[in-house]
């Protein structure tokens, strides 16, 4: 059963449009998109199945999504939506905190399940870096919720015509900081949170050159590569946008293959939503095996090439 009040989806990225719509429809059949960004993002949201799309404007270079909190709160107090949903990015977590403070409520972060009971919102979200789950009933009039990556499927199809677009540009007070410089950080190809197959490399991969062996397996499976934090932040073997865990990405692929991954909690909470986890490690006592559906004990330099050959033989 859904609530009779509309639910808001706050959108600042094209990759979040379908997922936020899918999550919001768990609460209400009437979902309003509040878009912070360029015109093409507004048009994408409008054509995806939202009941209405409101364009809050395209932020200046010195303005972030979180700086729209006051304007969104003012609008929310007038209209009282069931909840305001947003993706769980760094900026959106800032926005959620500021918005919740102005609405005199708490921000519910990393939510993996949404439903309504007696016209009240009930959520399940992770705690302690994903080590535990808690289910809570919303007591405030408006919920402020960030959606856990990979927890909700994108809404399948929208109407054959765009929904109405309302230009609702709002005054945003520039933050009390100055932008001094912008630098582009190299990004990996693809989008890990949407990948169906992910192969993760851990410290058990002996050298940077040995990453090529793991990459061959990812290619053979038609998947993407990821890693544990030490490979990205300690050794700089892979990009920071590729590491999984408490302070990195959380994913929910159909298959996650952990190669040379010890299985520490800080990493495994980032992949615990995977449908199937396969571990390859030469240490039979590695914690990763307790978290996996299937395990192979052996030298990855022998096991992985054998798997690649087998996959090529059946492709």
- pLDDT of 189 above 60: no
Of the listed ranges 120-134, 183-197, 212-226, the least confidently predicted one is 183-197
The position carrying tokens 């107090």 is: 77
Contact of 210 with 301, CB cutoff 8 Å = yes
Is pTM beyond 0.75 here? Answer: no
Residue 269 is predicted with a pLDDT of 86
Per DSSP, the residues of 214-264 read HHHHHHHTT-EEEE-HIIIIIS-SS-GGGBBSTTSB----SEEEEES----
- How many Cβ atoms from other residues are within 10 Å of residue 137's Cβ? 10
Residue 237 is predicted with a pLDDT of 93
- pLDDT of 188 above 60: no
List the domains of the chain with CATH numbers: 7-167 (3.40.50.620), 192-314 (3.40.50.1220)
The position carrying tokens 């677009």 is: 165
């Amino acid at each position: 059963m859904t609530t009779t009040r509309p639910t808001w989806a706050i959108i600042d990225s094209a990759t979040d449009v379908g997922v936020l719509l899918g999550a919001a429809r768990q609460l209400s059949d009437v979902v309003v998109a509040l878009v912070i960004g360029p015109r093409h993002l507004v048009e994408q949201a409008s054509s995806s199945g939202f009941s209405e799309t409101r364009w809050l404007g395209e932020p200046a270079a010195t303005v972030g999504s979180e700086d729209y909190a006051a304007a969104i709160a003012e609008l929310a107090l007038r209209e009282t939506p069931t909840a305001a949903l947003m993706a769980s990015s760094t900026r959106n977590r800032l926005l959620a905190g500021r918005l919740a403070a102005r609405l005199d409520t708490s921000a519910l972060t990393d939510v993996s399940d949404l439903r309504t009971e007696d016209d009240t919102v009930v959520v399940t979200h992770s705690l302690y870096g994903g080590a535990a789950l808690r289910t809570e009933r919303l007591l405030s009039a408006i919920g402020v919720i960030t959606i856990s990556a990979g927890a909700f499927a994108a809404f399948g199809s929208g109407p054959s015509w765009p929904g109405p677009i309302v230009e609702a540009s709002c005054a945003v007070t520039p933050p009390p900081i100055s932008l001094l410089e912008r630098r582009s950080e190299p990004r990996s190809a693809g989008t890990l949170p949407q990948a169906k197959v992910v192969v993760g490399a851990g410290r058990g991969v002996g050298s940077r050159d040995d990453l090529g062996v793991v990459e061959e397996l990812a290619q053979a499976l038609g998947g993407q590569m990821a890693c544990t934090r030490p490979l990205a932040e300690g050794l700089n073997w892979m990009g920071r946008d590729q590491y999984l865990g408490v302070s990195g990405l959380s994913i929910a692929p159909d298959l996650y293959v952990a190669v040379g991954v010890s299985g520490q909690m800080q990493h495994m909470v980032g992949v615990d939503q995977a449908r199937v986890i396969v571990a390859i490690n030469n240490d039979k006592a590695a914690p990763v095996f307790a978290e996996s559906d299937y395990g192979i004990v052996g030298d990855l330099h022998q096991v992985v090439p054998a798997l690649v050959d087998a996959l090529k033989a059946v492709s």
